[in-house]
Amino acid sequence: MHRFFVNPSQIEESCIRIVGNDVNHIKNVLRMHKNDEIIICDGHGSNYYCIINDIESDRILVDIKSKELSDAELKSKIYLFQGLPKQEKMALIIQKAVELGVHEIIPVMTSRSVVKINKQNAAKKLARWNKISESAAKQSGRGIIPMVNDVMNYDEALVYAQRMDTTIVPYENADNINKTKTLLNSLDMKRIGVFIGPEGGFSLDEVDKAKQQGANIITLGKRILRTETAGLAILSLLMFQLEEE
């Protein structure tokens, strides 16, 4: 069943009003009609199972049949602090991270980030990244749209990470895979931060700063993973560990 997100202000007691780009998509792309069934999400974890009641030029009205809490969210909120990668890798990382259950994505400018984002293109990139997140949330049946936050420098990201219950930093020079396994098997926290370096990884100074803040420096194995692989590898492990029946 097709799924769409709306602002909670569009939801009334027995009906929901769909506006914006989704109107054209429902009418002209999906070619849906009156009495077709549809799922509407409020972006806060509630799913509304609805029937299309009326299709107009600028809005679609649907009647609410039932409401359920989404079962697609993990019991812990995972925050991905992603070192800015080159070219189009960020789009892939956002898409797959959303599919794997991430709660929020924070792009981070590190000392080894090749890409530089200025004020002129930051807003445009951020809007595009959040559109990718919304599309991935629809495709994967999420109950929320994970937010892609403003780009932060490394020190700002460490300050932001202080609100996490624990922080994990995969690092290519770390060892002791048993420590990694023990840590992942013991995670039962509300907020988990994951730091992933860009191409070239984190500098030793950045790793030391994370250690001083209490971060867990871990290894993901003996192979060196690309930045677009490392984040998805640890998110996959966390998803499997945190998934509930």
| Backbone torsions φ then ψ of 201, nearest 5 degrees | 75, -170
- List, for residues 79-132, the tens digit of each pLDDT value: 999 999 987 899 999 999 999 999 999 999 999 988 878 777 888 899 999 999
Q: Which helix (H) or strand (E) segment is 62 a member of?
A: strand 60-69
DSSP letter at 54 equals E
Question: What does the DSSP assignment read for 120-149?
Answer: HHHHHHHHHHHHHHHHHHHHHT-SS--EEP
Cβ count near 38 (within 10 Å): 21
Domains of the chain: 3-69 (2.40.240.20), 77-242 (3.40.1280.10)
- The two beta strands, 15-18 and 60-69, are antiparallel
Candidates 178, 136, 132, 148; CA nearest to 80 is 148
- List, for residues 232-243, the tens digit of each pLDDT value: 999 999 999 898
Percent of the chain with pLDDT over 70: 100
Question: What does the DSSP assignment read for 103-122?
Answer: SEEEEEE-TT------HHHH
